[in-house]
Amino acid sequence: MSMGKLELKKKLIDECLDIQHKIVENLQNVMDEAQQGANEYGQPKDRYDSYRAQLLNKRDLFGGQLEKAANEIKVIKKIDLSRAKEYVSFGAIIITKEQKLFVSISAGKIQIDDEIYFAISPMAPIYQTINKLTKGDTFVFRGKQDEIIDVF
């Protein structure tokens, strides 16, 4: 590995934060547009006019997603950068023969220096399978055997 383990973890955290900040910004823009559309439309024209209510429902729906994205930013910021992990747990980077995982939030595929990592949440099925395993342990996930090469 070309860079230090904690430096890599910092880069993954920064990338996850960037992803979440973009999601928050996009959701805020959509909510603002829905609110503006509802304000410009004004009051319902008659009791069968539901267009304004639809816009406000859309705003509220995205508001829930915005809250979730903001909470995920808080979760990412809880990751301890002061030391490497000795076993699979929240904040760990796991290198297996098949893939590289980062236990944080469900952010999907992240590329750092030509390497692909998958940011997964502790709720992910693979995490449930490998939780508390250490370097050298083998496991079976979805019928395929894999080995943990490194955890940090």
pLDDT in tens, 109-132: 999 999 999 999 999 999 999 999
Cα distance between residue 110 and residue 72, in whole Å: 16
146 forms beta bridges with 139
Q: Which two tokens stand for residue 11?
A: 């880069």
pLDDT in tens, 43-96: 767 776 788 788 889 999 999 999 999 999 999 999 999 888 999 999 999 999
Cα distance between residue 119 and residue 143, in whole Å: 22
Give the domain ranges of the chain: 5-77, 93-151
This prediction has a pTM of 0.85
Comparing CA positions, the residue from 117, 147, 143, 123 lying closest to residue 134 is 147
